[in-house]
């Protein structure tokens, strides 16, 4: 649980340098979550990394989320300050047709594979990524399988007989 | 007549340096799992490498979006299959966090016992395999007997050994029988002797030390930048342990030490894991000593299967039974992140529920996946045999890597 003062500190650190980047901020369950505009996300994370008051120097995880109703793909970053044990979540929303955002690899080497994974499953293009190609799926796959429009199983499969039990 | 050897001999330009390429894996016995690494070699020195992963990718995150919450547990089994109870219990705690359930103290303590046993079984694999890769296979077979004992304890509790599906949302499926306690107590007596012998065999062994000290090292700064966690991060000298930082399941009640290394090399990883096993043993002993009395599951009728007699004789129980089995229990909307200290580090579950029968999105933070990307950097400039040793000491588990 993060106190209000600490939340205020993080928000003012961002607002001092990047006015108007924060769209929304608040607690979701026990996690302080900030929704940001996508343009300056890497700069904001870099600021949180270097800023004296915040020092979020550990990238816990990074992943994509598809919201089919809004036709948007969110990218979620979770940062952790290991000395004060504060965790925050940053979220950006990208249009599903053309999800593009700058890469986080210059700040965190750890962002490399999670970004490739997000590209692999959601088709998010991370501009400037050193090696943006599929990581877990086969290279000649044409779809981005974790998007909601793709069913669990390939519907064109013919090697399974579903006369009796269905799929 | 021209000499035949002139024709088949490769035409090498004098100035230009030639590299050879080596495919390490995907099914090489020394990789202990299905990983491929294409190594660019200058003689026996690795110049560059490119890991390819995904050989056993099973789309857990997609599968989870089509399964009711209680049916996701068997999926988590198959992540880090060396310590599946940790994954099971971690997942259940994540769901309980979403449901806001108060878990009885006894369940928390029982979970701690199981989780620490799982941690021991995970570390046994890693440490003995380091031994095998340095040429000491004796320790492997000797200590693996004790791993078998841990499996027998799981078996007594839940009926399964490797992919355990232990624990339920809310607590255990049944209380531990006297046989379980008997087996745990025998293990607590027998294992320290065996562990001590493994320690004696390797930890001050000159050959082992020469082979492992300074091999596959990573600095604390790089390890943090690569988001290392668990024993690998602690070996580099950073005392980050989720059990202490964000205590879950009553870990704050126990007294234990976080071992840290200094150089982040193979030897330090070995020693950190070794010490963690001793600490786990101590935690189990404390948990048994302090074990409170009480129910072995929380009161969550919507997620915890009622006893069979009640299903036949009681209408509510029948309804709940039906709902659970068909996966139609109501679940609140929410977005949570829960992490536990897995065998390899911070095992996180990022879960978004839209109130439907299945998660809207489940993201698994698998520690292996995060830290294995540092592998090319670690092995750059080292020998081929060191690369193999580095991989086994990092304890990369294919199931967790690929999910």
Give me the sign of the Cα torsion angle B86, B57, B273, A108.
negative
Q: What are the start-end ranges of the H helices in A55-152? A: 112-122
Q: Which residues pair with A77 in a beta bridge?
A: A62, A90
- Contact status, residue B242 vs residue B90, Cβ threshold 8 Å: no
d(CA A134, CA A137) in angstroms, rounded, equals 6
Distance (Å) from the alpha carbon of B274 to chain A's nearest alpha carbon: 24
Instruction: Say yes or no for a CB contact (<8 Å) between B222 and A78.
Output: no
Question: A152 touching B, CB under 8 A?
Answer: yes
Contact B234, B259 (CB under 8 A): yes
CATH top class, domain A4-100: alpha beta
Write phi, then psi, for A24 (nearest 5 degrees): -155, 145
Q: Which site among B50, B56, B62, B237 would you substitute to test the A interface, given the most A Cβ atoms closer than 10 Å to its Cβ?
A: B62
Q: Determine what percent of chain A is predicted with pLDDT higher than 70.
A: 92
Q: Which residue has the tokens 């955002």?
A: A101
The pLDDT value given to residue A164: 67
Are residues A113 and B369, on separate chains, in Cβ contact within 8 Å?
yes
CA distance B174 to chain A (A): 31
Are residues B28 and B376 in contact, defined by beta-carbon separation less than 8 angstroms? no
Closest among B191, B121, B197 to B154, alpha carbons compared: B121
Residue B227 forms contact with A (CB below 8 Å): yes
Any chain A CB within 8 A of the CB of B369? yes
What global pTM score does this model have? 0.92
Q: Distance (Å, rounded) from C-alpha A146 to C-alpha B65? A: 9
Q: Which residues of A touch B224 (CB under 8 A)?
A: 57-58, 82
Q: What is the pLDDT of residue B5?
A: 59
**CA gap B14, A58 in Å, rounded:** 48
Contacts of residue B65 in chain A, CB cutoff 8 Å? 152
Homologous superfamily of the B60-402 domain (CATH): Cytochrome-c3 Hydrogenase, chain B (1.10.645.10)
- How many angstroms away from the CA of A137 is the closest CA of chain B? 6
- Rounded CA-CA distance B305/B327 in Å is 12
Residues in chain B: 403
Instruction: Give start and end residues of each alpha helix (H) in B246-382.
Output: 266-290, 308-313, 315-326, 367-372, 375-379
Average pLDDT over residues A31-59: 90
| DSSP strand pairing (B346-353 vs B334-341) | antiparallel
Distance CA A33, CA A39 (A): 18
pLDDT tens-digit map of A81-129 = 998 999 999 999 999 999 999 999 999 999 999 999 999 999 999 999 9
* Domain range list for chain A: 4-100
Interchain CB contact of B141 with A (< 8 Å): no
Q: Which of A115, A135, A138, A150 best probes binding to B when mutated, by most B CB atoms within 10 angstroms?
A: A135
Residue from the list A57, A59, A145 with its beta carbon closest to the beta carbon of B62? A145
ipTM here: 0.91
All residues of chain A having their beta carbon less than 8 Å from the beta carbon of residue B334 are: 28-29
Q: Which residues pair with A32 in a beta bridge?
A: A27, A88
Residues in chain A within 8 Å Cβ distance of B345: none
Q: Which residues of B touch A60 (CB under 8 A)?
A: 227, 339, 346, 348, 365
Q: Which residue bears the tokens 């005392």?
A: B239
**How confident is the model at residue A112, as a pLDDT?**
93
Cβ contacts of A33 on chain B, cutoff 8 Å:
335
Distance, in Å, from the CA atom of B26 to the CA atom of B52, rounded to the nearest integer, reads: 9
- The reported pLDDT for the residue numbered B403 is 83
Task: Say whether residue B352 is in contact with chain A using an 8 A CB cutoff.
Answer: yes
Q: Where exactly are the structural domains of chain B?
A: 60-402
Q: Which residues of A touch B368 (CB under 8 A)?
A: none
Rounded CA separation A20/B211 (Å):
56
Residue B340 pairs in a beta bridge with: B347
Cα(A108)–Cα(B25) distance, integer angstroms: 28
Q: Which residue of A has its CA nearest to B67?
A: A152
Place of tokens 């059990």: B243
Contact A136 B225 (CB under 8 A): no
The answer to whether residue A35 neighbours chain B at the CB level (below 8 Å) is: no
The 3-state DSSP class for residue B32 equals coil
Q: According to the model, what pLDDT value does residue A167 have?
A: 47
CA–CA dist B75, B67 (Å, integer):
10
Report the residue from B57, B348, B361 with minimal CB separation from A61. B348
Find residues 288-327 of chain B whose CB sits inside 8 Å of chain A.
none
Contact list, B222 vs chain A (CB under 8 Å) = 109
Q: Is B308 helix (H, G, I), strand (E, B) or coil?
A: helix
Q: Measured between CA atoms, how close is A65 to chain B, in angstroms?
A: 7
Report the residue from A112, A135, A145 with minimal CB separation from B54: A135
Q: What pLDDT, on a 0 to 100 scale, did the predictor assign at position A165?
A: 61
Size of interface A-B (CB pairs under 8 A): 84
Give A127: exposed, middle or buried? Use CB within 10 Å, 0-12, 13-18, 19+.
Answer: exposed
DSSP character for B174?
S
CA distance A71 to chain B (A): 15
- Whether B60 contacts B403, CB under 8 Å: yes
- Nearest-Cα residue of chain B relative to residue A85: B245
Q: Is the minimum CB–CB distance between B245 and chain A shorter than 8 Å? A: yes
HSE (CB half, 13 Å, CA atoms) of A145? Answer: 22
Comparing CA positions, the residue from B177, B124, B176, B111 lying closest to residue B150 is B124
Has residue A166 got a pLDDT over 60?
no
Whether residue B370 and residue A136 make contact (CB cut-off 8 A), yes or no, is no
Task: Decide if A116 touches B, using CB distance below 8 A.
Answer: no
Task: Tell me if B92 sits within 8 A of B166, measured CB to CB.
Answer: no
The answer to whether the Cβ–Cβ distance between A109 and B226 falls below 8 Å is yes
Q: How far apart, in Å, are the Cα atoms of A14 and each of A82, B341, B396?
A: 20, 31, 37
pLDDT tens sequence for chain B (403 residues): 555 556 666 666 666 788 999 988 788 777 777 888 899 999 899 999 999 998 999 999 999 999 899 899 999 999 999 999 999 999 999 999 999 999 999 999 999 999 999 999 999 999 999 999 888 888 888 899 999 999 999 999 999 999 999 989 999 988 999 999 999 999 999 999 999 999 999 989 999 999 999 888 899 999 999 999 999 999 999 999 999 999 999 999 999 999 999 988 999 999 999 999 999 999 999 999 999 999 999 999 999 999 999 999 999 999 999 999 888 888 999 999 999 999 999 999 999 999 888 999 999 999 999 999 999 999 998 998 899 899 889 988 888 998 8
Q: What is the pLDDT of residue A1?
A: 64
């Amino acid at each position: 649980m993060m106190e209000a003062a600490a939340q205020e500190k993080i928000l003012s650190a961002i607002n001092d340098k990047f006015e108007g980047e924060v769209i929304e901020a608040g607690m979701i369950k026990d996690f302080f979550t900030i929704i940001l505009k996508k343009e300056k996300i890497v700069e904001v994370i870099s600021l949180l990394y270097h800023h004296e008051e915040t020092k979020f120097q550990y990238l816990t995880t990074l992943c994509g989320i598809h919201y089919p109703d809004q036709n948007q793909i969110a990218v979620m970053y979770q940062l952790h300050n290991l000395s004060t044990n504060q965790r925050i979540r940053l979220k950006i929303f990208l249009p599903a047709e053309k999800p593009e955002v700058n890469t986080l690899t210059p700040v965190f080497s750890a962002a490399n594979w999670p970004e490739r994974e997000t590209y692999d499953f959601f088709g998010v293009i991370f501009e400037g990524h050193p090696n943006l190609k599929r990581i877990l799926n086969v290279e000649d796959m044409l779809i981005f399988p974790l998007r909601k429009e793709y069913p669990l199983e390939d519907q064109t499969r013919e090697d399974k007989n579903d006369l009796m039990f269905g799929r | 007549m021209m000499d035949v050897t002139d024709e088949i001999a490769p035409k090498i330009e004098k100035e230009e340096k030639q590299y050879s390429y080596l495919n390490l894996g995907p099914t090489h016995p020394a990789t202990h799992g299905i990983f491929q690494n294409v190594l660019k070699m200058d003689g026996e020195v690795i110049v560059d490498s490119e890991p390819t992963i995904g050989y056993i990718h099973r789309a857990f995150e997609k599968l989870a979006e089509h399964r009711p919450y209680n049916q996701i547990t068997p999926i988590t089994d198959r992540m880090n299959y060396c310590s599946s109870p940790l994954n099971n219990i971690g997942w259940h705690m994540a769901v309980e966090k979403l449901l806001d359930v108060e878990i009885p103290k006894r369940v928390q303590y029982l979970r701690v016992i199981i989780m620490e046993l799982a941690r021991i079984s995970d570390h046994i694999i890693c440490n003995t395999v380091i031994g095998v890769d340095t040429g000491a296979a004796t320790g492997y077979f000797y200590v693996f007997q004790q791993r078998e004992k841990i499996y027998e304890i799981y078996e007594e509790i839940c009926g399964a050994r490797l992919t355990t599906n232990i624990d339920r949302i809310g607590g255990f499926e049944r209380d531990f029988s006297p046989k379980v306690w008997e087996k745990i107590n025998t293990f607590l007596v027998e294992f320290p002797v065996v562990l001590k012998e493994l320690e004696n065999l390797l930890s001050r062994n000159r050959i082992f030390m020469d082979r492992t000290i300074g091999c596959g090292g990573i600095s604390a700064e790089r390890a943090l930048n690569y988001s290392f966690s668990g024993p690998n991060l602690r070996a580099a000298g950073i005392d980050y342990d989720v059990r202490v930082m964000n205590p879950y399941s009553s870990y704050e009640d126990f007294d234990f030490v976080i071992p840290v290394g200094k150089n982040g090399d193979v030897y330090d990883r070995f020693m950190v894991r070794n010490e963690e096993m001793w600490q786990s043993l101590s935690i189990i002993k404390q948990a048994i000593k302090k074990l409170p009395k009480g129910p072995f599951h929380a009161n969550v009728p919507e997620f915890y299967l009622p006893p069979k007699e009640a299903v036949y004789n009681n209408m509510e129980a029948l309804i709940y039974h039906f709902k659970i089995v068909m996966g139609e229990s109501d679940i609140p909307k929410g977005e949570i992140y829960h992490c536990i200290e897995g065998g390899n580090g911070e095992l996180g579950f990022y879960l978004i529920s839209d109130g439907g029968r299945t998660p809207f999105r489940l993201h698994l933070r698998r520690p292996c996946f995060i830290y294995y990307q540092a592998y090319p950097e670690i092995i750059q400039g080292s020998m081929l045999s060191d690369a193999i040793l580095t991989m086994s000491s990092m304890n990369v588990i294919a199931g967790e890597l690929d999910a």
